[in-house]
Amino acid sequence: MREAIHLGCEKCTRRNYHTTKNKKIHTEKFSVRKYCKFCKEHTMHKEMKL
């Protein structure tokens, strides 16, 4: 029951990463601090619509 999600930078809103998560267990939006190659810095990346 794992579904693919895309992670997008909150600063430039580009989708840089993708991962999977179990939406039955984790219903809230996933967010993590990652490196954005377009902003050239570490920013918060959150789950975005496909």
**What does each of the 50 residues of the chain score in pLDDT, given as a tens digit?**
889 999 999 999 899 999 999 989 999 999 999 999 999 999 999 999 87
- Ordered by where they begin, the domains of the chain are 2-48 (2.20.28.120)
Residue entry with tokens 């990463």? 17
What is the 3-state secondary structure of the chain? CEEEEEEEECCCCCEEEEEEEECCCCCCCCEEEEEECCCCEEEEEEEECC
> Which pLDDT does position 31 carry in this prediction?
93
What's the CA gap between 19 and 7, in Å, rounded? Answer: 8
Strand 31-36 to 2-9 pairing: unpaired
